[in-house]
Amino acid sequence: MDYAEHYQTVSTDLPGHSLSWLQALRTRANIDFSTSGFPSPREEEWRYTNITPIEKKRFTPKVSAGDPSAAAELIQHHRLDDTWSLVFVDGVYSAGHSRLTGLPESIQILPISEALERYPEKVHTMLQQAADCETHGFIAFNTAYFRDGAFIVIPDKQVPERPIQLLHVSTQAEGLSVLRHLISLGIHAQATVIETYVGEKETACLTAAVTEIDLAANAHLDHYKLQNESDRTFHFGGIYSDQKASARFRQNHAAFGGLMARTEIHSHLGQAAECDLDGLFLASGRRHLDTHTILRHHGAHAVSRESYRGIASERGRGVFSGRIVVDPQAQKTDAEMNNRNLLLSDDAEIDSKPQLEIHADDVKCAHGVTVGQLSAESIFYLQSRGIDEASARNMLTFAFANEMVEKIRHDGHRQQVRDALLANLPQTDVRGDWL
């Protein structure tokens, strides 16, 4: 595999090179990656997503650390005013664009490159806790080559007064961004983290981000992700969370961009933990958007609610794979998953694969999938109000997606997701200024 060699060669000057434990971890991950390579469609979990086009490319990390002015506009537009933000341009932390003013000393929000110098032991305990290199090649690749990322530690009972935004901007053609985010919430701590991924138009690059989340007992994390990268970008984003007893994890994911993009959201639920996963993907043009979720009910009395909506238009392709695993001791599990999809053209395709694996006997688990068209009744209702059929269809398509957008509690992020939705709906005449 030539490409494995290529990534080894170009990945120089990675942070933490003086830390022997990290060197050992990276070396092992490098061996794992060299052996397995990027995931192949022969692997069951990657059956519907063939990423071999990535193998032919040779993405290269950005060499200079200067902030190109090209990124400034994107950052200006996407950085949320009411947050503490860490901004990454082509995978490199930009202190100049980040906003951390007023951050109390008790809360740690900093780039992982800096955390490796200041808190190496803490990074050591957090890294590889929720993500496992053996799962597939992308995680090994990320562990071997991550250049930066966020390090967020909220101690027991702390509630930061602002949400935290991780803003990723891709500007460089054939660029490579490999990011590792670590988020840890102490007992009864609460936080909101928003991951935003955007790119310059026409930029073809690879973003590979892994987020590991550790939620102590009774912690509560609201986590949002917007993937709206450029048309030619490859994106892999893995979010792996470990919920201790009664911890609450609410995740909302919206995917619109990229050429080929996959988001994995896996959570491990301890006793009486609660997990809500909501998501929306809109695969337009020739995009391939894959969402892969696994909720593992490990402790008893945990509750999970998962609701995903997918739309595919033109020659777009969507994949939803949702698995719920209930371990033998996880009695009184209460899990519901549903996935509703809308196909807007004959050439569009959505593959939906819900799976329940139940090893306990006293549980409540339900799942449902629909792939449908717009309701004729609703179209007529709108027509009877003077709205022509094409506009009625546009409005109903928007409504179908917007229901997921409305679940977003953060105003600024909700607005960005809605803007991205409107921008990506083909031929829509839904008026953003009337909403």
Partner 1 sequence: MLSIKNLQARVEDKAILKGISLEVKPGEVHAIMGPNGSGKSTLSHVLAGRSGYEVTGGSVTYQGKDLLDMKPEERAREGVFLAFQYPVEIPGVSNIYLLKAALNAIRKHRGDSEVDAMDFLPMVKARIKSLNLDEQFLYRGVNEGFSGGEKKRNEILQMAILEPSLCILDETDSGLDIDALKIVADGVNALRSPDRSFIMVTHYQRLLDYIKPDVVHVLAQGRIVKSGGPELAHELEEKGYGWIDQGATA
166 interacts with partner 1 by CB under 8 A: no
Nearer to partner 1, 192 or 307 (CB): 307
Contact pattern from residue 337 through residue 376 relative to partner 1, giving x for each residue in contact according to CB under 8 A and a dash for the rest: --------------------------------------xx
Single residue of 356, 391, 412, 419 touching partner 1 by CB under 8 A:
391
Choose the stretch contacting partner 1; rule: CB under 8 A; options: 39-47, 212-220, 326-334, 397-405.
397-405
- Whole-number minimum distance, CB 234 to partner 1, in Å? 31
Find the shortest distance in angstroms from Cβ 281 to partner 1.
16
Among 360, 369, 382, 422, binds partner 1 (CB under 8 A): 382
Per CB under 8 A, does 399 bind partner 1? yes
Which one, 161 or 389, has the nearer CB to partner 1? 389
Of 42, 64, 101, 434, the one binding partner 1 (CB under 8 A) is 434
**261 touches partner 1 by CB under 8 A:** no
Of 156 and 389, which has the nearer Cβ to partner 1?
Answer: 389
Angle between helices 389-405 and 411-424 (to 10 degrees): 150
Decide: is 129 part of the binding site for partner 1 (CB under 8 A). no
Which among 92-100, 166-174, 323-331, 399-407 is the span making contact with partner 1, rule CB under 8 A? Answer: 399-407
Binding partner 1 (rule: CB under 8 A), the pick from 81, 105, 361, 386 is 386
If binding is defined by CB under 8 A, does position 419 make contact with partner 1?
no
Region of 54-62, 131-139, 291-299, 387-395 interacting with partner 1 (CB under 8 A): 387-395
* Residue 83: CB minimum distance to partner 1, A: 25
Site residues (vs partner 1, CB under 8 A): 375-378, 380-389, 391, 395-396, 398-403, 406, 431, 434-435
